[in-house]
Amino acid sequence: MGRVRFAEKNILFGYLGQAATMLMSFVLRTIFIQNLSEQLLGINSTYSNVLSILSMAELGIGTALNFALYKPVAEEDREKIKSYMQMYRKAYTAIALVVACIGLVLVPFLPRLVKNPGVSDTQLTLYYLIFLFNTVSTYFVSYKYSLCNAEQKNYIQTNINTVTKLITTGLQILVVVVTKNFLFYLLTDMFVQLAQKIFVSWYLDRLYPYLREKNVTPLTKEEHAEVWSKTRALVLHKVGDVARLQTDSLIISSFIQVSVAGMVDNYTMVINAVTNFVNIIFNSVISGFGNLIATETRQRQYELFKVYRFFASWIYGFAVTGFFALLTPLIQIWLGNDWVLPEAAVALILIDLYFKGERTVLSNYKTAAGVFEQDKWLALIQGGVNLVLSIWLVQKIGLAGIYVGTVVSGLIANVTKPIIIYRDCFDRSPLDYFGDSAKYTAVTAACILACRFLAMRMLGTLTIPRFLVMVVIATLLYNGVFLLFFGRGQETRYLFGIARRRLSRRKNRHDE
């Protein structure tokens, strides 16, 4: 099965899983807000971010080892696969112990991280320990997925996670309605996740029985050195990414109040529900890029990279245009005016989302190509810029100040990563990249302004039918304008060519 077939399968299962979990998550969030306090919602969001920060103890080992697996998987070298997976298992066991120790050290500081929690310190600690257990136990199983993903079988992990999420969400809805108890809500998630991890360990052991063999040849010094060299570079990437991406909720709960973190989390949930559909495509082709880089010419890699980033600009531009017109009205329809964030903060969140689309493409390609060391200090600089600006500006202008730091620190990567990729992966000047970015951004900005203008008039009186009409208008306007400007380009023709070939093959199979 080729790269395209694997990617299609990953995307199909990803979409089905995302659609099911998205619907259930919205139902759960609505019931949560109706039955539990906004402070508890904020605590849930803040602790999720705290544990994401603790997870930086993984420090890129998984990414480096995934990259190392591409070649032995392509060559079907089982002995080498066993060697790498043994290293992976030992590393992740050590990581689990480190995360557990650091997590326990943080317990006395929890009251300082959560402003106006509405619960006792004992409850704060108990809730946190449940989150910590869920994170630590994951490390004893998650490394096993690396082989599936290196074989481009991401759908295995997707399907297991989808079933688990559906079971967890369904049970949590029942628990919240019946008990209105946040502790029982968390324990439900913990026990289902634990059952999932036990199943995953058993299932993947059966799927790859040779991994249980005892006769494993250790990696050579050179192979060890290559993995740890990339890991050392990824340490800086990981620390910087955490400082830039995972600290906003902590700053909100510490400098404003924890309930605002819950309000932000509602917006984030809606945004993630949409962007996760987009990211399924990008994440599904990452392992395909690893195979592509190992087997194809540099020119072919460059051509497909251009298609990949064009598609990202198109889809992310569409999403952000729709969000500018419809995100806050959706929150008003769903939860009411009391849950609406300031307009400036929402605009900055969406600006960062647009440029995040470009960063996703760049980061995914760098990961597949194993380009980690050339910009190892970049993420650290970004993290520092974000923390300094966010903490300074939140005290000056409130919530919007946090996202000024997020946008500015993100743009650093939008400028530097293309230079590195074009130089080290394609041996080309990045000027074409920046020229294309300027064109895509200008068209998207024009569409945003037009949709905002129309939405202000259409949704002055907010009703569900008017909202749905605006969804149609935004969809037709953005895609019509984008195709008007770029529909004759090589990238568009390539994408439409793939679509026509797939439809033709399906039609032929149907006729048979």
Q: What is the pLDDT of residues 104-144, one digit of tens each?
A: 988 888 887 777 777 788 888 899 999 899 888 888 887 77
Least confident of 62-66, 353-357, 411-415, 507-511: 507-511
Tokens standing for residue 259: 């309930």
Q: Tokens 């967890």 sit at which residue?
A: 168
Q: Which of the four pLDDT bands, split at 50, 70 and 90, describes residue 17? A: low
Contact present, 238 and 60 (Cβ < 8 Å): yes
- Measured at the CA of 420, the angle between CA 417 and CA 425, to 5 degrees, comes to 120
Least confident of 212-216, 350-354, 370-374: 370-374
Tokens standing for residue 83: 């060697």
The DSSP letter of residue 143 is: T
Residue type, 490: Q
Least confident of 41-50, 266-275, 310-319, 393-402: 41-50
- Measured at the CA of 129, the angle between CA 178 and CA 379, to 5 degrees, comes to 115
Rg (CA), the chain: 23
Least confident of 30-44, 136-150, 258-272, 386-400: 136-150
* Residue 391 pLDDT > 60: yes
Tokens standing for residue 113: 């991280």
Contact present, 145 and 204 (Cβ < 8 Å): yes
* 3-state helix, strand and coil shares in percent for the chain, rounded to the nearest 5: 85, 0, 15
Contact present, 310 and 489 (Cβ < 8 Å): yes
Nearest residue to 113 (alpha-carbon basis) of 56, 53, 58, 57: 53
Contact present, 327 and 267 (Cβ < 8 Å): yes
The DSSP letter of residue 373 is: S
Question: What is the reported pTM?
Answer: 0.76
* Residue 57 pLDDT > 60: no
Contacts of 96-100 with C-beta under 8 Å, sequence gap 24+, read: 96/136, 96/137, 96/139, 96/140, 98/57, 99/54, 99/55, 99/57, 99/132, 99/135, 99/136, 99/139, 100/132, 100/136
* Residue 439 pLDDT > 80: yes
Q: Tokens 């990729």 sit at which residue?
A: 421
Rounded Cα distance between 434 and 95, Å, is 39
Contact present, 398 and 342 (Cβ < 8 Å): yes
Residue 58 or 431, more confident: 431
The DSSP letter of residue 422 is: I
The pLDDT value recorded for residue 480 is 94
pLDDT tens sequence across 150-159? 666 666 777 7
Give the three-state DSSP class for 321. helix
Residue 408 or 205, more confident: 408
Question: What number is the average pLDDT over the span 325-350?
Answer: 92
The pLDDT value recorded for residue 1 is 44
Nearest residue to 80 (alpha-carbon basis) of 273, 226, 192: 226
